[in-house]
Structure 1
Amino acid sequence: MFNGITFEKLLLIGVLAALLIGPERLPRAAEGLARFVKRAKEYMRGAQSRLRDEMGDEFDEVDWRKLDPRQYDPRRIIREALLDDAPVTPAAAVAAPARAAAPMPTPVGRVVFSADDLPPYDAEAT
């Protein structure tokens, strides 16, 4: 009903409030709650109108459900990011066009590998 809040839960909260606050003070507490909810709605309407004024026509084009932070599941985001791009195979990396820029200078003591050479593998390090 209200994002996980069911009628039974609301009824239980109402009964507990009636018992804790008491029947004499309950009407005043309900009026205070109603005033708070009304002020919160006015505040949200004002914030929405200010946002609409600042964004202009783009406000209606935004998909607000897409920006809901509750939808962000890190596992889903990582899964989608990994599945978006096709994996790069070594053959595809070799077939990639060479860069037009000048080759990087090799530091002293370093070995330069060609595209056909496999880099060294240290079995003890893994």
Structure 2
Amino acid sequence: MFGNIGWGEFMVLLIAALVVLGPERLPGAVSWVTKSLRQVREYASGARQQLKDELGPEFEDLQKPLSDLNQLRGMTPKAVITKHLLDGDDSILTGNFDSPSTPSVNGSGSSPGGSTPPRPNMSKPLAPGEIPPIDPDAT
């Protein structure tokens, strides 16, 4: 419940509530807040159950994008870009284009299926004055 509030902030809030409400009304205010939070949780779980009952199997289809968004919340921007836009290939971010990249977010090499196969005739640089090979299918 208080995941983002530390003990110091909680104590400041408690002292501020004690000053504003006074010692006579503070216990009543605390009990009112806890009852209200409990009621909101019951409403939310009831609404969720009602939505689940009405949608049936489509509820999981609706829930999957939300769980994906929750997973992205904890990731760094570089990890998000590497995983979703570049399919795990972080060579464009690291500048290391020749060798397979280190395992990235999804645990694979530079491609989702594993490391990339070696490219034919691309392992050695061209000699000065040598004409590069032409791929007729690429042009």
Please report the TM-score for the alignment, with normalisation by the length of structure 2: 0.47
Q: Flag the 1:2–1:66 CA change in 2: closer, same or farther, 3 A.
A: farther
Aligned to 1:107: none
Percent identical = 30
Aligned to 2:68: 66
Gaps of 5+ in 1: 97-114, 116-126
For residue 29 of structure 1, report the CA deviation from its aligned partner: 1.4
Q: Flag the 1:15–1:34 CA change in 2: closer, same or farther, 3 A.
A: same
SS at match of 2:12: helix
C-alpha separation between the residues in 2 aligned to 1:13 and 1:65? 32
For residue 45 of structure 1, report the CA deviation from its aligned partner: 1.1
C-alpha separation between the residues in 2 aligned to 1:45 and 1:35? 15
Aligned to 2:21: 21
Gaps of 5+ in 2: 90-110, 117-132
Asked which structure has the greater RCO (Cα within 8 Å, sep 6+), the reply is: 2
For residue 24 of structure 1, report the CA deviation from its aligned partner: 1.7
Q: Flag the 1:49–1:11 CA change in 2: closer, same or farther, 3 A.
A: same
C-alpha separation between the residues in 2 aligned to 1:52 and 1:12? 40
Please report the TM-score for the alignment, with normalisation by the length of structure 1: 0.51
- What is the one-letter code of the residue matched to 1:35? K
Aligned to 2:81: 78
Q: How large is the Cα RMSD of the aligned pairs? A: 3.7
Q: Flag the 1:29–1:6 CA change in 2: closer, same or farther, 3 A.
A: same
- What is the one-letter code of the residue matched to 1:39? Q
Aligned residues: 94
For residue 16 of structure 1, report the CA deviation from its aligned partner: 1.9
For residue 49 of structure 1, report the CA deviation from its aligned partner: 0.5
Query: Looking at CA atoms only, which structure, 1 or 2, has the larger radius of gyration?
Result: 1
Q: Flag the 1:7–1:49 CA change in 2: closer, same or farther, 3 A.
A: same
